[in-house]
Structure 1
C-alpha cells in the first residue's frame, strides 16, 4: 500500500542496498532485495492504490480518493478483486458528484468483477437501480432490484431495496 512516489523511493533505496550487498558479496541478501523490488513492482500493477483510495473515501475525503485512483494508469492491469473495488469507489465518487452517466458506467463494470462479499455486489446493483430510476427507466431498475434480491444482503440494503420498489410502483 504505497503511492507511486513512495514505491519509487523504496525501490531507489533498495537498489542502493542491492549495490552494497553485491559489493560485499552477500548474495543471499541481494536475492532477497531483488525479490522485494519485484514484489513492489508487481504490487504497483496488480494492487495499485485502491485500498488507500477506499480509506480516503470512507473518511469522506473524496478529492484524495480520486487522486489515488487516478494514480492507477491502467485499471485493466489490476487484479480482478482490486478492479471491482476500483470501479465501485469510482462509481461512488461520480455518484457523489451527481454525474450519473459516469457512475452507471463504473457500477456496471464493478458488477462484472468480484467484490468483498455478496452485500457489496447487491449495493452495486442497488446503485444501478437507483440511477435507472432517476433516468425513468423503470424496467432496468426493476431488473437490477430483482438481481440484488438474489444475494445475501444486510437489513440496511433490504430496506433500501424496499424503498426503491415503492418508487418503482409509483412510476
Structure 2
C-alpha cells in the first residue's frame, strides 16, 4: 500500500538499519530486516499500488487513480486478484478518456481473470458490449451480451444488458 517512492525511502531506511545491526552484531535483527526488505520488494511487484488506486477510483479521484496505476510498470507481475482490478480500472479510465481501443484491450484482459462475484465479470462484459456497440460491431455485442446473461447479475446490470440489446438495430439481427 505504498507508492514506489515511499518504498524506496523505507528500503533506504531499512538498509541503514541493516548496516547498523550488522555493525552491532545483532544477527537476529539482521535476519528480520532482510526479511522485511524482501517482503517490501516482493509486494512491490505482486501487489503494486492497485489498492491505493482503487480507493482513489471509488472516491472519483480519477487523476490520482491514473497516477497510481501508472506507477505499476509491469502489470503482468501482479497477482491475478490484483491484476483484474488493475485492468478494470485502466479500462474505465481509458473509456473516460475516450480511448476505446485501450479500454477494450484492458477489459479483454480483465474478462479472462477471476473475479469474486459473477456480477463483476458481467460489468466487464457489459463494458465490452458497449464499446463494440459504439464501434457498430453488433455481432460481438451479441456475443458479450449472451455471455453476460449466463452470469448471476443484479437487476441494475440486467437492465443495462436489456438496454444495450435494444440499441442493436433490428436489421442487424
Category of TM-score, reference length = shorter chain: over 0.9
Separation in structure 2 between the aligned mates of residue 116 and residue 62 of structure 1, nearest angstrom: 24
Q: Aligned runs of 1:30-45 on 2, under 5 Å? A: 30-45=30-45
TM-score scaled to structure 1, two decimals? Answer: 0.94
- Equivalent position of 1:130 in the other structure: 130
Q: Give the secondary-structure state (helix, strand or coil) at the position aligned to 1:2.
A: coil
Deviation at 1:105, TM superposition (A): 1.0
The TM-score normalised by the length of structure 2 is 0.93
Instruction: Write out per-residue CA displacement over residues 48-95 of structure 1, whole angstroms, 9 at most, x where no aligned residue.
Output: 111111111111111111111111111111112211211110000011
Unaligned runs of 5+ in 1: none
Q: Which residue of 1 aligns with 2:101?
A: 101
- The alignment yields a C-alpha RMSD, in angstroms, of 1.3
The answer to whether the aligner puts 1:165 opposite 2:137 as a matched pair is no
Give 4+ residue runs of structure 1 displaced > 2 Å after superposition.
168-171
- Between stretches 132-141 and 21-30, larger displacement belongs to 21-30
Distance 2:154 2:147 in 1: 15
The corresponding residue for 1:71 is 71
Q: Which residue is 2:148 aligned to?
A: 148
Q: For residue 160 of structure 1, report the CA deviation from its aligned partner.
A: 1.0
Q: How many residues align?
A: 171
161-170 or 149-158, which moves further after superposition?
Answer: 161-170
| Secondary structure of the corresponding residue to residue 41 of structure 2 | helix
Q: Which residue of 1 aligns with 2:20?
A: 20
* CA distance, structure 1, for counterparts of residue 53 and residue 160 of structure 2: 25
CA distance in 2, matches of 1:31, 1:117: 40
CA distance in 2, matches of 1:90, 1:2: 19
Unaligned runs of 5+ in 2: none
